[in-house]
Structure 1
Amino acid sequence: MKAGKLQFSKPNKYWVESSQKRYVPCAEDTVLGIVVDCKADNFIVDIKGPATAFLPVLAFEGGTRRNIPKFVVGALIYVRVVKANPGMNPELSCIDASGKAAEFGLLKDGFMFETSTGLSRMLRSSPMCPVLEELGKQLSFEIAVGLNGRVWLNADSPSTVVVVSNAIMNSESLSEVQQKIMVEKLLQRIK
């Protein structure tokens, strides 16, 4: 049993979308991970799951034994879950299905905060999330949203980071119309 919103897609696919803190890894999810340890063949990464994940040193675009990336413990990285089976640590990769780096890799600067998995799925939903759409019309910022409930945000000024992160955190229980109204009021106050 699971509480949440019933979601569906056209070819008779149904699921319950819930808001929870614990992330359960699934193949092809994009997540934000924190490097916990560096080994000779892989990096150990915390992705907020039941077990730490591993990122092979060759799972990068152009990755060879001579061209190994250097990550320090505590580095924030944007990765894709390649394998996720019960009883095994998930395997990660910094390349997409076509073998390109795309948007994956080290996230420098910025601010990372944690949300529920339901909110992170809403932020990644299509069509565009109302909060991000309205904020993007007035403010300039970069964002990376992981399905594990971690959000990375970078902007020119710290005040923009604070405004955007607070708007995102406050939008979880609001409808689309309420989200747009909240952002409009917020932007009027800071002008």
Structure 2
Amino acid sequence: MSLIEKYLTVEKEEIFEVKIQRSLFIGIIKPLEANPSDILKEVKEKYKNATHYCYAYRKVTGEEYFSDGGEPTGTAGIPILNALREKDLYNIIGVVVRYFGGIKLGVRGLIDAYHFTMEKTIEKAKIVEKMVTVSYRIKATYKDFPNIKRELIKNFSCEIGENFGEDVVLEVKVPISLKEEFIKYISKRGVEIEKYRE
């Protein structure tokens, strides 16, 4: 798999509701910024007593996962995942909650209902492009801080958070495509890297 530098995702959570054959389907899509099981737990707390909680997620690492949430195998999770794939979305989770309305939909009906619900949920969402980044925590003196910050923003298009203490600690998110150049730059400047996270 080639390294992804940019990807599409949704800007924020979006929700879509539809009734199909008396069953209520609620589609939820959101950026995958937490553990998927924590997100699912939140959904279950918000939509209590639903019959099924089906979901799928995709990460920029290439990892994909889906769950049919008690529906027949292949009728819910895969249709949700396919809707995410069709729009080429990453770092995203799609959940469809179903409140059973008393009419069985059959295999084809379930596949269509879950795919349709997620497809319409995605259509409501604002799609945004994001950069894959690598996070560093670096330490700089107060004297060096202004120049380092200016150069990092100019040369590496970094997102920077600042913590002021004895020294200045910078939380820096560097586009993954500039990772090697960033490390060389930091080494030349004699700046200490405290922490690194991909």
Normalised TM-score (structure 2): 0.23
Larger proportion of strand: 2
Larger Rg: 2
Larger proportion of helix: 2
Normalised TM-score (structure 1): 0.23
